[in-house]
Amino acid sequence: MTDGMGSEGSLADIPGRSGRDAVVIGGGLAGITAALALADAGVRVTLIEGRPRLGGLAFSFQRGELTVDNGQHVYLRCCTAYRWFLDRIEGTALAPLQDRLDVPVLDIARPEGRRLGRLRRDELPVPLHLGRSLATYPHLSLAERAKVGRAALALKGLDLADPSLDAQDFGSWLAAHGQSARAVEALWDLVGVATLNAVAGDASLGLAAMVFKTGLLSDPGAADIGWAHVPLGELHDRLARKALDSAGVRTEVRTRVTSISPEENGRWSVQVPGETLQADTVVLAVAQREAYDLLPDGALDAPEQLLEIGTAPILNVHVVYDRKVLSRPFFAALGTPVQWVFDRTDASGLRDGQYLALSQSAAQDEIDEPVAALRERYLPELERLLPRARDAQVKDFFVTRERTATFAPTPGVGRLRPGARTKVPGLYLAGAWTATGWPATMESAVRSGVSAAGAALSALGRPRPGHLFDVEEAA
Ligand SMILES: Cc1cc2nc3c(=O)[nH]c(=O)nc-3n(C[C@H](O)[C@H](O)[C@H](O)COP(=O)(O)OP(=O)(O)OC[C@H]3O[C@@H](n4cnc5c(N)ncnc54)[C@H](O)[C@@H]3O)c2cc1C
């Protein structure tokens, strides 16, 4: 096998590596993390990725002079595993966090005209850090703001370890806690749709409570937002690849694993076109559907449950204007189909004009709409939101569609998500969809990779590398 990217085959001669081999299948964030963690512990690792690049669901591609992300990705300060990952690949400076949470929220459906509000935090301790921002949030009435405060405190009191939370839906819980449809739209869904990829009524209370408790009600800085100021591929492909190479991982892209099977000697055979790899440890870091197809008999008690984990789409709408129409790095919108808008001009390499990316989560109704229909809908909406867009010329308009962007965070999904360990020795699962307690995020992917590597290392009797992110192992 050759990967065409400069890293060469056999690792048999690498000094300091004693005879343990692992194959990690899937070069998304989960697989990259597992590969790095195993290699850092002295295991010989081969990472196999079917596509021509690493990064899985968070990648970039070229469109003329633009480097485009398949979808805008953000993370929060509380995403400690993803931040560890950024450090590990030496990418932290390229995806900085805001000094302090500050989200401009523009509502264009008010009778009195356009209105800008802000979700910001103070230096005060939790939950007072959001108190002033909530008290002055113009998109809710005074009574709604008071009720939001009470619901937030009730949410803070929920026990995330209580499995019954996963069976309930967040929308019903919000309604039962006095939240109006407006409060759901202008606050809870504004944050929840972007982080869970579902509206409150379609989301597990357990996952929603996890997001809001961890992000808004744990540490004052927990929800400060970070995002890549470079193309995602710079982080998740180029820098990840560099880190893997220096850790001694053999990386093969454009290589699909077709089957994995246990051998009589307790090792594993991993089949790729033209080659059979042997390994003591296999980490299957692919999406749930592919994991189901590759899992050998007996690996899980109820493998068909993996097929019950649904998926949810995210649509990104990309618009290049001939001039600057937005003077902020990003904002969220209300009273329009537009959800979140990011300025990607600098990151994309565009030299003239401005490039905006609209991130549209829970996009079930739009994901298959023709580009022309989306153009007809979104360009006028952008003109309503950004008056300067009215005089600007649209130089390019295109969309990226990720139909299976995340697992669907529906009530009951928690009992379907398996942990890192399977029932067969030497085989582990990773992926944002596994039982990390997090919704389908980069954070969940990295945590799952750490858990899988941690479980594998303990079975191999090897110490975890000292610098490895510490995650409580999922069951
Ligand atoms: C448009 C969009 C926006 C998003 N926004 C955010 C966000 O703002 N913040 C956030 O935290 N998360 C966001 N996410 C979610 C985040 O990208 C994912 O949760 C995360 O990247 C999943 O990583 P993973 O490693 O678990 O899986 P994947 O990225 O799916 O990686 C699995 C890899 O396995 C490979 N593979 C599959 N089968 C085989 C095989 N047989 N052989 C070899 N390789 C195989 C695939 O090609 C893939 O590269 C977004 C996702 C999308 C699509």
Q: What is the CA radius of gyration of the chain?
A: 23
* Segment 189-204, tens digit of pLDDT: 999 999 999 999 999 9
The ligand 1 atom at the shortest distance from the C-alpha of residue 54 is 49
The ligand 1 atom at the shortest distance from the C-alpha of residue 48 is 43
Nearest 5°: phi and psi at 376?
-65, -35
Question: Which residue, by CA, sits nearest to atom 20 of ligand 1?
Answer: 442
Pocket flag, ligand 1, residue 405 (CB < 6 Å) = yes
* Number of domains observed in the structure of the chain: 3
Report pLDDT for 475.
Answer: 37
Is 33 domain-assigned?
yes
Give the C-alpha separation, 341 to 112, whole Å: 23
Do both 133 and 251 map to the same domain?
no
Contacting residues for 369 by C-beta, under 8 A, at least 6 apart? none
Report pLDDT for 6.
Answer: 32
Do both 363 and 438 map to the same domain?
no
Beta bridge partners of 61: 68
Pocket flag, ligand 1, residue 251 (CB < 6 Å) = no
Do both 174 and 42 map to the same domain?
no
Give the C-alpha separation, 190 to 199, whole Å: 9
Q: At what angle do helices 442-460 and 80-88 cross, to 10 degrees?
A: 70
Report pLDDT for 356.
Answer: 98
Pocket test of ligand 1: the residue of 260, 277, 442 to mutate, having most ligand atoms within 8 Å of its CB, is: 442
Report pLDDT for 16.
Answer: 38
Pocket flag, ligand 1, residue 341 (CB < 6 Å) = no
Pocket flag, ligand 1, residue 58 (CB < 6 Å) = yes
* Segment 218-258, tens digit of pLDDT: 899 999 999 999 999 999 999 999 999 999 999 999 999 99
Binding site membership for FAD: which residues? 257
Do both 262 and 378 map to the same domain?
no
Question: Which residue, by CA, sits nearest to atom 53 of ligand 1?
Answer: 405
Do both 436 and 305 map to the same domain?
yes
Report pLDDT for 472.
Answer: 65
Do both 266 and 284 map to the same domain?
yes
Beta bridge partners of 398: 318
Pocket flag, ligand 1, residue 291 (CB < 6 Å) = no
Pocket flag, ligand 1, residue 445 (CB < 6 Å) = yes
What is each CA distance from 433 to 30, 289, 292, 406, 446, in whole angstroms?
Answer: 10, 11, 13, 8, 11
Pocket flag, ligand 1, residue 362 (CB < 6 Å) = no
Report pLDDT for 112.
Answer: 83
Pocket test of ligand 1: the residue of 24, 77, 309, 441 to mutate, having most ligand atoms within 8 Å of its CB, is: 441
Tokens at 468, concatenated: 């490895």
Report pLDDT for 17.
Answer: 42
End-to-end CA distance of the chain: 36
Give the C-alpha separation, 422 to 189, whole Å: 35
Asked if 197 and 359 touch (Cβ cutoff 8 Å), the reply is no
Asked if 37 and 454 touch (Cβ cutoff 8 Å), the reply is yes
Do both 211 and 285 map to the same domain?
no
Report pLDDT for 469.
Answer: 87
The ligand 1 atom at the shortest distance from the C-alpha of residue 448 is 26
Mean pLDDT of 166-186: 98
Mean pLDDT of 454-465: 93
Do both 166 and 298 map to the same domain?
no
Query: Model confidence at 474, in pLDDT bands (50, 70, 90)?
Result: very low
Q: What distance lies between CA 170 and its chain's CA centroid?
A: 20
Is 431 domain-assigned?
yes
Is 326 domain-assigned?
yes
Mean pLDDT of 255-273: 96
Do both 417 and 268 map to the same domain?
yes
Pocket flag, ligand 1, residue 432 (CB < 6 Å) = yes
Mean pLDDT over all residues of the chain? Answer: 94
* Segment 291-321, tens digit of pLDDT: 999 999 999 999 999 999 999 999 999 999 9
Sign of CA dihedral 389, 365, 167, 175: positive
Report pLDDT for 419.
Answer: 98
* Segment 34-84, tens digit of pLDDT: 999 999 999 999 999 999 999 999 999 999 999 999 999 999 999 999 999
Contacting residues for 260 by C-beta, under 8 A, at least 6 apart? 25, 268, 269, 270, 271, 282, 284, 294, 296, 427
Question: Which CATH number characterizes residue 379's domain?
Answer: 3.90.660.20
Do both 418 and 378 map to the same domain?
no
Residue 371 belongs to domain spanning? 311-407
Do both 395 and 316 map to the same domain?
yes
Question: Which CATH number characterizes residue 250's domain?
Answer: 3.50.50.60
| Residue 31: closest CA among 7, 51, 14, 3 | 51
Give the C-alpha separation, 472 to 451, whole Å: 8
Query: Model confidence at 19, in pLDDT bands (50, 70, 90)?
Result: low
Pocket flag, ligand 1, residue 363 (CB < 6 Å) = no
Domain boundary, last residue among 203, 223, 243: 223
Within 10 A of 42 (CB to CB), how many other CB atoms are there? Answer: 18
Binding site membership: which residues? 257
* Segment 235-245, tens digit of pLDDT: 999 999 999 99
pLDDT reading at 10 higher than 50: no
Q: At what angle do helices 142-156 and 205-216 cross, to 10 degrees?
A: 100
